[in-house]
Amino acid sequence: MVEVEEQQQQSQSTEAEAETGSEVVTEGSSVVHGDPPQDGSGPPKVDSEVEVLQEKVTKQIIKEGHGQKPSKYSTCFLHYRAWTESTQHKFEDTWQEQQPLELILGKEKKEMTGLAVGVASMKCGERSLLHVGWELGYGKEGNFSFPNVPPMADIIYEVELIGFDETKEGKARSDMTVEERIGAADRRKMDGNDLFKEDKLAEAMQQYEMAIAYMGDDFMFQLFGKYRDMALAVKNPCHLNMAASLIKLKRFDEAIMHCSIVLSEDENNVKALFRRGKARAELGQTDAAREDFQKARKFAPEDKAIAKELRLLAEHDKAVYQKQKELYKGLFGPRPEAQPNQSNWLVIIWQWLVSIFRHLFRRERHKID
């Protein structure tokens, strides 16, 4: 692979490389604001203006998106949570399942009609709150299997549109050949790499997440031999670049998750070990971080970034030891000598006086005798 160096960057750095087919150093990427949605006890509270999309569908924007909106037959990838409005019971959460939903506008299931109306009004990266009437949801009967939705239940959706593919025929992933799915994922990965190099981390992560969606567990389970190798050559770099972006955004737990996915397929992957170690070190998990760095060094003994991180951990341990030493200084030192107190001196003086009087009394008695 060809190493492409950033300006004023002289050494190859495991920390800063993007997985791009060729290695791209992207040290100094800008910070993108915006945190992942928080999973509270119910739907988020939103103060933005209410937009009426249809008689039974309203929308409030939580986070603005960018670019164009999907058209009919676009293959959309999205994350969402869903609650029944009356009881605030959450019955579905793709963030928790770590598996985006694929939705083809115009070909959605009947119970997804209201959700599709909302998604059609959204831009890439947009996160919104949708209120959908039961007529455009699970209907009068509800749903008694999975998910469990009661009859005539209005629904609240928290939705984020990751991205979409414009296709005239609206071809679903399940209808694609292996080569078509890997090719579609690879195009997304390359688009993500271009955005990554431009420091547009939020947009790049959306492309990587869509590429990963094409390489879902159900798909990977069916592959073996050269096709599995082809798929992993696309999927693993996306996870690694997701981890690199998440570390810059200080979302360390998520970065660890993506690195661990790669290591489950390739336990000796140097970049995955390094980036997981980096995230663990930031979380204060120093022993686990050191283990990752030391394993990475076995396979890349000359890597300066790995050596630097191990040196920083050693300095951290030394500083902690010195602090503890100062804190407990003298705790286990020589026992101080006991100082006589005032009451002991009084006893000694009293005993001395008694002995003198006793001596004088005996002397006087001896004279009388």
Closest to 299 in 3D by CA, of 276, 267, 324? 267
- Residue 321: per-residue pLDDT: 76
Query: What's domain 51-165's architecture?
Result: Roll (3.10)
Taking the domains of the chain in order of start, what are their residue ranges?
7-30+176-322, 51-165
Q: Are strands 75-84 and 101-104 parallel, antiparallel or unpaired?
A: antiparallel
Percentage of the chain modeled with pLDDT above 70:
80
Q: Which of 9-23, 32-46, 81-95, 355-369 has the highest mean pLDDT?
A: 81-95
Q: What is the tens place of the pLDDT at every residue in 79-134?
A: 999 999 999 999 999 888 777 888 999 889 999 999 999 999 999 889 999 999 99
Residue 298 CA to residue 292 CA, distance in Å, equals 10
The total of other beta-carbon atoms located within 10 Å of residue 129's CB is: 21
Residue 156 CA to residue 59 CA, distance in Å, equals 10
- For the 7-30+176-322 domain, the top CATH level (class) is mainly alpha
Q: What is the tens place of the pLDDT at every residue in 48-83?
A: 999 999 999 999 999 998 888 998 888 899 999 999
Residue 241: alpha-carbon gap to chain centroid? 13
Average pLDDT over residues 215-243: 90
Closest to 128 in 3D by CA, of 138, 115, 137? 115
* b/e burial code for range 38-68 (CB count within 10 A of at least 16 → b): eeeeebeeeeeeeeebeebbbbbbbeebeee
Closest to 161 in 3D by CA, of 204, 128, 125? 125
- Residue 221: per-residue pLDDT: 86
Residue 210 CA to residue 164 CA, distance in Å, equals 8
Supply the pTM of this predicted model: 0.64
60, 48 in Cβ contact below 8 A? yes
Phi, psi of 53 (to 5 degrees): -90, -40
Average pLDDT over residues 30-48: 64
Q: What is the tens place of the pLDDT at every residue in 252-274?
A: 999 999 999 999 999 999 999 99
Residue 76 token pair: 């959309």
Residue 141 CA to residue 152 CA, distance in Å, equals 7
